[in-house]
Chains A and B, each alone.
Chain A
Amino acid sequence: MRLLGYMVAYLIIGFARFITAVRGNWRDEAPRDVQTIYFANHTSNGDFILVWAVLPPRLRWKTRPVAAADYWLTSPIRSYIGRQVINAVLIDRRPEARDRDPVDQMVEALDGGASLIIFPEGRRNDTQEALLPFKTGIYHVARKRPDIRFVPVWIENLNRALPRGEVIPIPYICTCTFGAAIHLQDGENKEAFLTRAREAVLALSPDATPEMAHGS
């Protein structure tokens, strides 16, 4: 079963590369084989596939995306991919419907040794805003595991390649830009940390750094 999972994973990654020619731009520091939470902007359901695709393989297989159970458990195919292929940490976004706290689930995954990919905006951003306000979960995880490093990621263009509601993806060159890791600082309160984290992601967008828009 695990072998089939790997094969499907490589098929998905291969297809993502075919459409997006995605490149990882480790702008501030090289990828490190240390437990990490990658947090990114969220514009498309394919977001974590791109982050996953550009992670070096030795990091990729221990990195689990945190994804919405209310999306990934709605059909047998999605459920298979979510559970067996990408090994997602499936959280329920609807407080009234869930029996487990998402923060606890993430902490549990961290304690199991995994790295995580999270989208702190909480939902796909189809507004004109570059980045929605962050949900507080990222802060609570940081409080419970204060030593963990958080690496900001900016995913560019995937919303053009696959806008919400379209089925056929259009080839666009997409990039994942990784910034310098941040940590929760001693005595840092919720607002300060969320603001700092959000700004770290925004600083990676091409609008903030025009010359970084398309590689070298």
Chain B
Amino acid sequence: MDHETLMILMIGVLIVLAVASLIGGVLAMRVGDGPNRSVVENLNARIWAWWVMVALLGLAFLWGRPGVTILFAICSFNALREFITLTNARRADHWMLAAVFFVVLPLQYVLVYTDWYGFYTVLIPVYVFLLKPVISALRGEVEDFLIRVAEVQWAAMVTIYFVSHVPALLSLNIPGFEGQNIQLVAFLIIVVQASDVLQYVWGKLIGKTRIAPSLSPSKTVEGFVGGVASATLLGACLWWITPFAFWQAGIMALIIALMGFFGGLVMSAIKRDRGVKDWGDVITGHGGFIDRLDSVIFAAPIFFHLTRFWWHV
């Protein structure tokens, strides 16, 4: 692992966070008890939560592959719990859910960690898909059967399968990039989260036209275009930590940002359907784990497969 590159990245991220905290502090003083107070309070809560998330990611990166795998397994566990809480799962699904939480989830990450590509890519889409409804069917409760089974399959795909594609990046074998795969994880997370943050910033600054008012009041066309464009530029400028050329890194970042945006949109639709504002309240200012992971969930598998298809040998 190339510690020097990671250290430079870390210092860069910390400088950005320090500047953000400074701006947040100045805003808090300027706004005082004014009408925008709750917006600024939420902003500062978000920035504070970012410090914690960056610290955890930094520790995981220092530990290397086990650290990143365990960190995302923990994220999966929390996200799965948030998802299942909003489903129609009931008593008859008890054993099916126990299997998903305590067997499928750890198994998926063990398979990812041990590079068993042929198994971890089919475990949930094939084996879990087919066997899980059997467990529930045997309990004999048929009411809402398809809805319940489909919801849990969605939960497993979204919160376990797709999230596990982040540590799966560490198993790619790219000539000339050996031992530096963790920078692919850093690239993905920086671009996708920067895209979220930049969409928020552009939206707050110049956002007027709402993209999907029924899904999310805060997503605007101006925020979307500004955020995706600046995240693409940021990604291109990070080409030196990736195996990509400048323009390739830009295209990858564009795809990551777009998929991340779509992820946020789709997960918002689910929240609106279930009548909640956030998936949880674990991460102060952000909501639940899925609120922070939604864009990663949609971007990670596409980024993984594109990189695997073009660069992996």
A-side residues, CB < 8 A to B, are 21, 23, 157, 160, 163, 166, 168, 170-173, 210-211, 213-216
Docked CA distance A160–B92 (Å):
11
Q: Chain B 276-289, CB within 8 Å of chain A: the 1/0 string?
A: 11111110000100
Do the beta carbons of B81 and A172 come within 8 Å of each other?
yes
For the complex, what is the distance from the CA of A215 to the CA of B287, rounded to whole Å?
A: 9
Q: Is B121 an interface residue (CB 8 A)?
A: no
Give Cα A27–Cα B80 distance, bound, in whole angstroms. Answer: 26
In Å, the complex CA distance between A168 and B281 comes to 25
Query: Shortest distance in angstroms between A127's beta carbon and chain B's nearest beta carbon?
Result: 13
Complex: chain A residue closest to B276, CB-CB = A214
Bound complex: CA A209 to CA B279 (Å)? 17
B218 close to A (CB within 8 Å)? no
B81 contacts A215, C-beta separation under 8 Å: no
Chain A contact surface mostly: loop
Nearest B residue (CB) for A126: B91
Stretch of B95-103, B109-117, B177-185, B251-259 with 4 or more beta carbons under 8 angstroms from chain A: B95-103
Q: Closest chain B residue to A171 by CB distance?
A: B81
B97 touches A170 (CB 8 A): yes
Query: Does B84 belong to the interface (CB within 8 Å)?
Result: yes
Given known contacts A163-B91, A171-B84, A210 and B275 CB-to-CB distance under 8 angstroms? yes
A-B contact pairs, 26 of them (CB 8 A): A21-B78, A21-B81, A21-B280, A157-B85, A163-B94, A166-B94, A168-B94, A168-B102, A170-B84, A170-B97, A170-B101, A171-B81, A171-B84, A171-B101, A172-B84, A172-B85, A210-B275, A214-B86, A214-B277, A214-B278, A214-B279, A214-B281, A215-B278, A215-B281, A216-B278, A216-B281
Give A119 to B300 CA distance when docked, in angstroms.
47
In the complex formed, the residue of B with least CB distance to A18 is B77
A34 CB to closest chain B CB (Å) equals: 27
Check if A214 sits within 8 Å of B280, measured CB to CB: yes
Min Cβ gap A159→B in Å is 9
Cα A212 to Cα B81 in complex, Å, equals 18
A157 contact set on B, CB distance < 8 A: 85
In this complex, what residue of A is CB-closest to B101?
A171
- CA separation between A161 and B281, bound complex, in Å? 18
- The answer to whether B275 touches A170, judged by C-beta atoms less than 8 angstroms apart, is no
| Residues on the A chain within 8 Å of B222, using CB | none
For chain B, the bracket of interface size reads 20 to 34
With beta carbons under 8 angstroms apart, the residue of B86, B98, B277 that contacts A216 is B277
A172-B81, A216-B278 known; 16 new pairs, CB 8 Å cut-off, are A21-B81, A21-B282, A163-B94, A168-B94, A168-B98, A170-B97, A170-B98, A171-B77, A172-B84, A173-B280, A213-B275, A214-B86, A214-B278, A215-B278, A215-B280, A216-B287
Measured between beta carbons, the chain A residues less than 8 angstroms from B84 are: 170-172
B82 at the interface (CB under 8 A from A): yes
Bound form: Cα–Cα A170–B98 in Å = 6
| A210 proximity list for chain B (CB < 8 A) | 275
Q: Which residues of B contact A214 (CB under 8 A)?
A: 85-86, 276-281
CB A209 to nearest CB in B, in angstroms, measures 12
Name the residue on B nearest A213 (C-beta): B276
Q: Give bound CA distance, A36 to B262, whole Å.
A: 49
B29 → chain A, closest Cβ, in Å? 24
Most buried by A among B78, B90, B94: B94
Chain B residue contacts of A166, Cβ below 8 A: 94
In the complex, A206→B91 CA distance in Å? 20
Contacts of A172 in B (CB 8 A): 81, 84-85
Complex Cα distance, B282 from A21, in Å, reads: 8
CA distance A23 to B85 in the complex (A): 14
The distance from the CB of B139 to the nearest CB of chain A, in whole angstroms, is 12
Select from chain B the residue with minimum beta-carbon distance to A25: B281
Cβ 8 A contact of B81, one of A23, A168, A173: A173
Given that A214-B276, A214-B278, A214-B281 are contacting pairs, would A173 and B82 also be in contact in the complex, using a CB cutoff of 8 Å? yes
CB-based nearest B residue for A20: B81
